[in-house]
Structures are given as structure tokens and as C-alpha cells.
Structure 1
Amino acid sequence: MTSDARHLTQLGHAAPIPASPDQAKLERAPNPQPGALYLVRFSAPEFTSICPVTGQPDFGILVMDYAPKDWIVESKSLKLFLQSFRNHGAFHEDCTLEVARRVIEAIDPVWLRIGGYWNPRGGMPIDVFWQTGAPPEGLWLPDQGVASYKGRR
């Protein structure tokens, strides 16, 4: 590990899946390209949580794009954080925005957007989109690459 990564407690170490999002530790690393305007994308194609009313599992795809400032999200800690939702009861809207909120708290990005593309519940998909504001001028914003619902193909 570089000297900048010595503070990381999960990367390079055995780390169990946290029991809940509240117990998950989202870690950060210094931006290796400070001052550059660029986009980082994380896709979680097998995101799961639990319906808070029925206890049934919910499945979706989360796509998060952000433009870093001083910090980047450490990906192993993000994976563990996302896995911590597996047994967490929350509505789609809450899960999607909670992920965004925690990332913002951890790294204070220039800009962030998230798309939660949820599989149907009761025959209806629920997609949730949020961003911190207008994207910075000159930032390349590719399509999130998830089909509008028609079986999500």
C-alpha cells in the first residue's frame, strides 16, 4: 500500500459484510488526479434490500456517477456498504438516496448522480434518480446504460 492508503482498514484486509448500512464504514482515498474534471462510475448490477413492509427481497441495479474533488471512494468499502443493504428493510427511494448521502458525506464530491433501477414489485418497476445539482460544465456524462423497463434487456 502507498503511504496515502495506510489509513484504509478494509482494503487488503479480511472484512466481513456489515450487518446494516449504519454499521458499514465507507472509506476514502486521496484523489490521484486533483484538479482534473473527470467522472467515476460505480455500477452495482445485483443490489438487494428487503421491503420494509412485506420482508420480501428487492433487486435492482444502482449506477452512481461522481466527479471527485479531494477524495475518491475506496471501492472495497463501497462494495461492503452496498452488501450491507441485503438484510436492510427500506423502500427503494430510501435505499437509493441513502447510498448517495453516505458517499457525499465520505468524499464531498464536486458532483454526484445516482440511478436506482429497481426490478418490478407488484408488476411495476420503481426507478429512482437523484443528483446534487447541475453537472459541472465540460464533464462528460455518458448514459447510465440501463434500459427503460421492458424486461430490462
Structure 2
Amino acid sequence: MSDDNIYKDLTQLGGATRVPQSPGEAELERVPNPQADTAYAVRFTAPEFTSLCPMTGQPDFAHLVIDYVPGDWLVESKSLKLYLTSFRNHGAFHEDCTLTIARRLVGFLAPRWLRIGGYWYPRGGIPIDVFWQTGPAPEGVWLPDQGVPPYRGRG
């Protein structure tokens, strides 16, 4: 490998890595975007996301869809997976979990644009869906619908 290997600083990929016990303990990793001159969309889907209800400690489940248009950085997917997994021990309401993930990614990556859809499964008979984005999508970037049906058809 040459000295200009953009992956040389990654510490989690390619080996056994302990699951962080909290989102604050989780370490996100990034690599330079070799296509930074091109506006394109990246999608991560986490259909089995879990966290804990902060009041009861019972598990909450969501289908997360994260779309972003990278700037100078790409998130390394294993580190993102470990970060999302760390929420399984974290107590917070649906809105807080969804926005915490989005804001951490925005602060870490400085993407051109990011949106998140948190499609939460019902507790007490009511699904709670949470949506956020950094602003209007960049012109000319194809962004498909997030593809998660209303709750009745989710599954």
C-alpha cells in the first residue's frame, strides 16, 4: 500500500471490535471522499434499530433511513453500524434518538446535505415517525423516496 492510502487511519474495520455501551462512547470513523467533486447520494438503512424507553426501560424499535450527499468525507460503515448498535442500551425518546444520530453525523462529516427518517414501531398503539434534514436537497442529485410504507404495511 502506498503512503497516500486513505484508509490507513481506520481502526475498527477488518477486525473484532467491541460494541460501544453508549452513543457517547461510540467512535465514528471517516475517510476522505475520492469523488468529492461530484454531488451524489448515499443511503444507509437500519431496519432493526433499537433503543430503550427512558421511562420504562423497555425496547423501542425503528427502521432508520439516512441519506446524505457527501462533501469531503465519507462515514466508514462499520463505525456507523457500531454507533447505531450502541443505542440498544440508551434510554431516550424517539425524537431525541433520531435527531442525535443526524446531528452527530452532520457535525462529524460536514456533508453537503443530510436527511434522516426514523420510522418507529408502535408503543401504546401509536407509531411515531421522525423526519429531519439540513435544508433543501442539492440541485441535480437523485434522491429516491425512503420507501418505508405507513405502519399498516411496515414489516
TM-score by length of 1: 0.97
**Alpha-carbon distance between aligned partners in 2 of 1:27 and 1:99, rounded to the nearest angstrom:** 14
The residue aligned with 2:117 is: 115
Name structure 1 gaps, 5 residues minimum: none
Matches within 5 A, 1:97-108: 97-108=99-110
The residue aligned with 1:83 is: 85
Matches within 5 A, 1:29-68: 29-68=31-70
Q: Which 4+ residue blocks in structure 1 deviate beyond 6 angstroms? A: none
The residue aligned with 2:18 is: 16
Identity %: 68
The residue aligned with 1:26 is: 28
**Alpha-carbon distance between aligned partners in 2 of 1:68 and 1:40, rounded to the nearest angstrom:** 8
Give the paired residue count.
153
Q: Secondary structure of the equivalent of 1:141?
A: coil
The residue aligned with 2:136 is: 134
Q: Shift in Å at residue 106 of structure 1? A: 1.4
**What RMSD over aligned residues (CA atoms) do the two structures have, in Å?**
1.1
Q: Shift in Å at residue 13 of structure 1? A: 2.4
**Alpha-carbon distance between aligned partners in 2 of 1:146 and 1:106, rounded to the nearest angstrom:** 26
Q: Shift in Å at residue 151 of structure 1? A: 4.2
**Alpha-carbon distance between aligned partners in 1 of 2:51 and 2:98, rounded to the nearest angstrom:** 10
Name structure 2 gaps, 5 residues minimum: none
Q: Secondary structure of the equivalent of 1:77?
A: helix
TM-score by length of 2: 0.96
**Alpha-carbon distance between aligned partners in 2 of 1:135 and 1:128, rounded to the nearest angstrom:** 18
Q: Shift in Å at residue 139 of structure 1? A: 1.1
Residue identity opposite 2:54 in structure 1: P
Q: Secondary structure of the equivalent of 2:31?
A: strand
